[in-house]
């Protein structure tokens, strides 16, 4: 399972959802979907814009963790 740590990186950069959305030219609703783990995909252009604005690497935003439910 992929975890999106966007909220963590936003907190580290002291930036609000609406401010980040405006800076990367995405709707607050779509950014909220990513932030709240509801997204099914992310465009590389969006990931690039997020990383550029938050001064981070993709690995700071995306994290893989094993899905315990699928192991059994």
Handedness of CA 17, 8, 3, 71 (dihedral sign): negative
Query: Could you read off the pLDDT tens digit of each residue along the chain, which spans 72 residues?
Result: 999 999 999 999 999 999 999 999 999 999 999 999 999 999 999 999 999 999 999 999 999 999 877 655
CATH superfamily label, 2-64:
lambda repressor-like DNA-binding domains (1.10.260.40)
Distance between CA atoms of residues 11 and 45, nearest Å: 22
Q: Where are the domains of the chain?
A: 2-64
Q: pTM value?
A: 0.87
């Amino acid at each position: 399972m992929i975890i999106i740590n966007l909220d963590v990186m936003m907190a580290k950069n002291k930036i609000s959802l609406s401010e980040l959305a405006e800076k990367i030219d995405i709707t607050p609703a779509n950014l909220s979907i990513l932030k709240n783990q509801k997204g099914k995909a992310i465009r590389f252009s969006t990931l690039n814009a997020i990383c550029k604005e938050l001064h981070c690497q993709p690995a700071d935003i995306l994290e893989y963790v094993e899905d315990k439910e699928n192991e059994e």
